[in-house]
Amino acid sequence: MSANSIAFHSDHDHQHCIEQALSSARQICSERKQRLTPIRELVLKLIWQSHKPLGAYELLPALAEAGFNSAPPTVYRALEFLQSQGLVHRIASLNAFIGCPSPDHSHDGCFLICTGCGTANEIEAASAMRDLQRQAEALGFKTQHQTIEIAGLCPNCRESAAE
């Protein structure tokens, strides 16, 4: 079962997703000799527990509950680290963060964000990027990184809206 095929299906074993993401993160950080500290791991877990992208300030109360300091810099630093390791992505159009389902290899992602329920899913944008890269290159523009986000209605909300 690929990551994409579970998109927008709320009936999968999400607890399993979370554990797998955390386990994978631990392994990746270990391999790279990076420290997945308790705060960083907690932030990653909180993000994975939510199907909706989470804003930085939505994470703060949970950090406080877990006994950590909960000032903004704490969570922003954790997020910065997680991003640097490709474990989470920032969704610019939402000012929010979501877990990356494939942090082990670099890739061009695109987010499908439901304007109904707020859930987001990452799909592969390699082919679309090739197209854009070609145009950019023709203009002499050298790509560093990209932001591709699509807002719309997920299957569930589409159905609800049609009723």
Partner DNA sequence: GCCTGTTGCGTTACAATGTAACAAATTATA
Partner DNA sequence: TATAATTTGTTACATTGTAACGCAACAGGC
Question: Which residues contribute to the site for a copy of itself (CB under 8 A)?
Answer: 4, 7-8, 92-93, 110, 112, 114-115, 121, 123-125, 127-129, 131-132, 135-136, 139-155, 158
Instruction: Tell which one of 6, 56, 123, 132 touches DNA (CB under 7 A).
Output: 56
Instruction: Tell which one of 78, 112, 129, 154 touches DNA (CB under 7 A).
Output: 78
Per-residue tokens: 145 = 């990184």
Q: Is 145 in the site for DNA (CB under 7 A)?
A: no
Rounded least distance, CB 74 to a copy of itself, Å: 23
CA distance 28 to 24: 6
Whether 54 contacts 96, CB under 8 Å: yes
Question: Which residue is associated with the tokens 């095929």?
Answer: 5
Whether 40 contacts 82, CB under 8 Å: yes
DSSP per-residue letters across 83-108: HHTTSEEEETTTTEEEE-S-TTS---
Task: Candidates 33-41, 45-53, 104-112, 122-130: pick the segment binding DNA (CB under 7 A).
Answer: 33-41
Per-residue tokens: 64 = 């406080």
* 55 contact, one of a copy of itself, DNA, none, CB 5-8 Å limit per kind: DNA
Helix (H, G, I), strand (E, B) or coil at 111: strand
Count residues near DNA (CB under 7 A). 22
Binding site for DNA (CB under 7 A): 33-35, 37-40, 55-58, 68-69, 71-74, 76-78, 81, 95
